[in-house]
Amino acid sequence: MASGDELVKYITERVVTYIETPKEERRRNSRPKEPWAEKWFGMIPLGLTLMKREPGRKRKR
C-alpha cells in the first residue's frame, strides 16, 4: 500500500497536469457519452433501432 506522501504526490501531479492542459485539448481527448438506453439495456435498443430504420429493405442470406 502506498504511503500518504506518495498518494499526495500522485494526486498533486494529476491535478497540475489537468490544470495546465488547455480546455480545448481536454475536450478533444474526452470520449463521447454513450446513450443511456445502451448503457442500461445493452445492445437490444440498438438492434431494435436498426430494425426500425430500414423496414422495406430485405436482408441477403
Mean of pLDDT values over 35-61? 75
Residue 10 in domain: yes
pLDDT band at 1; cut points 50, 70, 90? low
What backbone torsions phi and psi does residue 59 show, to the nearest 5 degrees?
A: -85, 145
**Structural domains in the chain (count):** 1
pLDDT of residue 27: 85
Residue 34 in domain: yes
| 20 against 34, higher pLDDT | 20
Task: Indicate yes or no: pTM above 0.85.
Answer: no
| 5 against 35, higher pLDDT | 5
User: What is the rounded CA–CA span in Å between residue 15 and residue 61?
Assistant: 54
Residue 34 pLDDT greater than 60, yes or no: yes
Give the count of beta carbons closer than 10 Å to the beta carbon of residue 38.
13
Residue 29 in domain: yes
Residue 59 in domain: no
- 16 grid coordinates: 497540475
User: What is the rounded CA–CA span in Å between residue 5 and residue 22?
Assistant: 28
Domain that holds residue 28: 4-53
Residue 60 pLDDT greater than 70, yes or no: no
